[in-house]
Amino acid sequence: MTLTSWAYDVAEGLLADSLPKRWAHSQQVYRQALDLAPMLGDDADLLAAAAIAHDVGYADVAVSTGQHMIDGGRYLQRVGADRRLCAVVALHTSSPWEAAELGLSDALNEFVPVPGYLVDAITYCDLSSSPDGQPVDPEDRLEEVLRRYGPGHVVFRAVSAARPELLRMVQRVRDGVTASSAHELN
């Protein structure tokens, strides 16, 4: 069984019935990750696994801190997942900023370091996927998150602070896709 198929089974079991909208979103994030596979080489399976499992921290059985990225990474650790998978899930999108808002920054040190391009890639996939599982422009996705949570919420504050870096992450992935496509044409 590949890492991706294992993660798919775990995420489907936790999200499909109890959180179907999160499951639809996770499936689109997964599809986005599959599109990036040609430029990731040996890390393609890891990214696909993280993409499908990135929101398992919302499942009741996983919630401990209330920060779904850390909770997802910790849950995956408890069920024996690859340490790198746990780290990519824990670090996706605005996790460091949200962790800082919640006083949980030290919790991110529980996870093994992973290359920045993997965090960029999972963030790109997440921000390119709408809450209901459709492709979306990352700028529009960030606007949707801010509207949904509102100024008094920790997610609003974290995403507002993270937004410039999140858009740089998205651009780095887009640049990588362009370079990879150009390389394939040569």
Extract the tokens encoding 35: 């599109």
Extract the tokens encoding 116: 């920045």
Residue 184 has pLDDT above 80, yes or no: no
Q: Which of the 8 DSSP states describes residue 52?
A: H
pLDDT of residue 186: 46
pLDDT band, very low/low/confident/very high, at 162 (cuts 50, 70, 90): very high
Extract the tokens encoding 95: 């996790």
Residue 181 has pLDDT above 90, yes or no: no
pTM (two decimals): 0.96
130 vs 140: CA distance, rounded Å: 9
pLDDT of residue 94: 97
| 122 closest CA partner among 27, 4, 28, 33 | 33
Q: Which CATH class is domain 3-180?
A: mainly alpha
* Residue 78 near residue 59 (C-beta atoms within 8 A): no
More confident position, 183 or 20: 20
Note the pLDDT tens digit of each residue in 23-79. 999 999 999 999 999 999 999 999 999 999 999 999 999 999 999 999 999 999 999
Which residue bears the tokens 């069984």? Answer: 1
Note the pLDDT tens digit of each residue in 109-157. 999 999 999 999 999 999 999 999 999 999 999 999 999 999 999 999 9
